[in-house]
Amino acid sequence: MTGRRKPEKGRNPVDLEDRRTKHLVSTPAKLTTCPRCKTPVLVALDEGLRAVVDLAAIPPAEEIRALLSGRKTYTRLQCGELVYREPDRIRGGLLKGDLHQQHTCQRKTRPAQLELWSN
């Protein structure tokens, strides 16, 4: 055995290529609400990774504030897809579209615990 995988028989090579590239799919952003805080957000797949951003676009000057607070930023292209703004893409300045910051929930995850016993 050489460790090489046998080619799959009876499969169309086009189908195999399609399966390999589906994990990097990008989809147009859809408007929905965050299930926790009920804030309107945009949700999309960006190169196979789920992106959830605030609906309101931010001005370019606000991007550094978002990055310093630990949020990712995305460009919403004219086709509706969200593209993660990694440092090289920010530096290149070639992405054209609205800027959106990653959604971070402000709602607390647990309600306050009730006091069941009193002394």
Which residues are near Zn ion by CB under 5 A?
34, 36-37, 105
Query: Residue 93's beta-bridge partner residues?
Result: none
Task: Kindly state the smallest distance separating residue 88's Cβ from Zn ion, in Å.
Answer: 29
As measured in angstroms, the least distance from the Cβ of 47 to Zn ion is 23
Nearest to Zn ion of 21, 33 (CB atom): 33
Shortest spacing between CB 104 and Zn ion, in angstroms: 7
Nearest-approach distance from CB 106 to Zn ion, in angstroms: 7
Nearer to Zn ion, 43 or 95 (CB): 43
Closer residue to Zn ion (CB): 106 or 113:
106
Give me the residue whose beta carbon is nearest to Zn ion. Answer: 34
Q: CA end-to-end span of the chain, whole Å? A: 74
**Within 10 A of 29 (CB to CB), how many other CB atoms are there?**
24
- Judged by beta carbon, residue 24 or residue 105, the one nearer Zn ion is 105
